[in-house]
Amino acid sequence: MIAAATAVVVLASGGVAVADAHKTVTLDVDGVLTTVSTFSGSVDGLLAEQGLDLGTRDTVTPTGALRDGVAIEVRHAHQIVINADGTEQQVWTTALTADEALTMLASRGGDVRLVANRSNSGRPDLSLDLTLDGPAQVQVDGQTHAVDDGSTTVAEALDHLGVELQPLDRVGVTRAADGTVTVIVNRVVVQDVTTTSEVPFAATEQQDPSLYTGTTKVTTAGVPGVRTLVERVTTVDGAETGRETLSDEVTQAPVDQVTNVGTKTRPAPAPSTGGGSPAVGGGDAASLNWGALAACESGGNPTIVSANGKYHGLYQFSVGTWQSVGGTGLPSQASAAEQTARAQMLYNRSGAGQWPHCGPRLFS
């Protein structure tokens, strides 16, 4: 009788042990809830039974011994893209929603926003749902629009407002100090800009034995070259944020200016013939009919300038010839008396041939 009683007690104790080992717990894996019955004595054992392989960044709460009725929360870590103070980077998070991620990132301080990737369809994909339990807004094209509370996605919020994204536009989500969640759309434009600038030409001189000393002649006119610069310019919401040089080259070479400088010795002035009408190229210049020459050359106007701008004054001096007889400035700006005096110097040096058409008028 005693042995039988003992057996009953042992059997009863074994039943109590089996009952204590069985547990019913709630398993929350990334927001998906499951009720699990188990005989496992630890959280690790339960996770192993469920085939959950956790990485070093994943989180489990609580850990250790497993108690009946407990809720086990498992969060798998994943990478998201953020923009912190203007610099994009990838970070790991166990957050399930954009709101939760922004709360976790708030400890970083500064301007932190989640960056939405663009899918093949062009729609912004935040990788995290945008669950709004409070005020929210969309900033785009210089305007701010309110967004209704509730569970939504960035793409749905933008679609509701009729916001169309261009291929390079950026979309981010941030949270203000007052808790307002803001979807920010930055309009990005990248374009190639071409500008041109002038390349100055060089000037060279060469001796010319066919020209008198003190005279010059431009034989090759200088022509500026062209430099073409192509740059790729990036603007965000109209403000330039980047400029990259694609090419910078001289697309039209300059033409150097060449000036001949006279080296020929000037002839001595012709002596006076001593009376009568002087011969062409010599004689007393002052006695010649300079009024007739001026009337023929310029109509007697000391300030006149030829249509091509090369010849000036009473006797239609070129600037080079004027300078060769000691004149300064422009002949047309000198007095009539000075123009006549220098014309007489030119005659004494080179004769009436300096005025091929009107020269004979000197002897009228």
User: What 3-state DSSP class applies to 38?
Assistant: strand
CB contact set of 176 (below 8 Å; sequence gap of 6+): 182
CA 207 to chain centre: 49
Write the DSSP assignment of 306-357 as a string of letters. -TTS-EETTTTEEHHHHHHTT--S-GGGS-HHHHHHHHHHHHHHH-GGGSTT
Q: Where are the domains of the chain?
A: 22-75, 78-186, 190-263, 273-363
The pLDDT averaged over each successive group of 10 residues in the chain (364 residues) is 40 47 88 89 89 88 90 86 76 78 71 68 58 74 81 75 83 78 88 96 92 86 95 94 95 94 75 39 73 90 89 92 91 91 91 88 84
Cα–Cα distance measured from residue 134 to residue 137, given in angstroms and rounded to the nearest whole number: 10
Residue ranges of the alpha helices (H) in 22-86?
Answer: 43-49
Q: Do domains 190-263 and 273-363 have the same CATH topology?
A: no
pLDDT at site 123: 57
Task: Give the closest residue to 320 by CA, choosing from 213, 222, 223.
Answer: 213
pLDDT at site 345: 92
What topology is assigned to 273-363 in CATH? Lysozyme (1.10.530)
Task: Please give the CATH superfamily to which domain 190-263 belongs.
Answer: Resuscitation-promoting factor rpfb. (2.20.230.10)
Rg (the chain; Cα; Å): 49
CB contact set of 60 (below 8 Å; sequence gap of 6+): 43, 47, 54, 72, 73, 74, 75
